[in-house]
């Protein structure tokens, strides 16, 4: 008596299909989870000091806000954040008050920082950074500066 068990071709096809379905289903789940996690708005805020305006020959700061996420964002306000020991904790960029919509992949929005009155904060120049707030109240901060700006001399 032959005790070897053999699978019919129908069983082989069913087994291969089941294994393939399990693998492809797992890959699809992983891809959809990664897409879900990436599928949200995200802003990148960059603060640059000592930018020269060629037409007027003046030196100013620049805050650039870029939507690097995958959803449009409504930008509510942009400001400089000061250390807590000062009378004010934020210096708001006036042109940001009306708000702006940043589409996915759109050009960065720029906000000029005038140096008038900043000399008051020159001892703490390395603790001042930019913040952008979206319509949901989420705040995005720039990195702290590493190079001393001219207004702090």
pLDDT digits (tens, 9 = 90+) for 120-135: 999 999 999 999 999 9
pLDDT of residue 4: 62
Sign of CA dihedral 142, 146, 150, 153: positive
Mean pLDDT of 94-114: 90
Q: Is the pLDDT of residue 57 over 70?
A: yes
Say how far apart CA 132 and CA 142 lie, in whole Å: 9
Confidence band (pLDDT; 50, 70, 90) for 3? low
Please enumerate in sequence order all residues whose Cβ is within 8 A of that of 145, keeping only pairs 6 or more positions apart, or say none: 47, 49, 125, 126, 128, 129
Rounded-to-10 torsion of CA 140, 143, 145, 147: -140
pLDDT band at 2 (very low <50, low <70, confident <90, very high): low
Note the pLDDT of residue 69.
85
Alpha-carbon distance 86 to 82, whole Å?
7
E-assigned strand segments in the chain? 43-53, 58-67, 73-81, 90-92, 100-102, 109-113, 129-134, 139-141
pTM as predicted: 0.75
The whole-number average pLDDT for the span 25-46 is 90
Residue located via tokens 């996420």 = 69
């Amino acid at each position: 008596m032959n005790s070897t068990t053999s699978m019919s071709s129908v069983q082989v096809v069913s087994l291969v299909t089941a294994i393939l379905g399990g693998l492809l289903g797992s890959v699809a789940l992983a891809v959809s989870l990664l897409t879900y996690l990436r599928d949200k708005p995200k802003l990148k805020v960059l603060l640059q000091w000592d930018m020269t305006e060629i037409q007027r020959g003046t030196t100013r700061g620049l805050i650039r806000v870029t939507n690097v996420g995958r959803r449009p964002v409504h930008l509510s306000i942009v400001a400089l954040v000061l250390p807590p020991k000062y009378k004010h904790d934020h210096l708001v960029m006036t042109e940001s008050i009306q708000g702006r919509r940043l589409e996915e992949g759109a050009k960065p929005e720029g906000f000029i920082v005038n140096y008038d009155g900043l000399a008051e904060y020159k001892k703490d120049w390395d603790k001042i950074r930019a913040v952008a707030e979206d319509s949901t109240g989420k705040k995005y901060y720039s990195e702290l500066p590493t190079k001393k700006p001219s207004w702090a001399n």
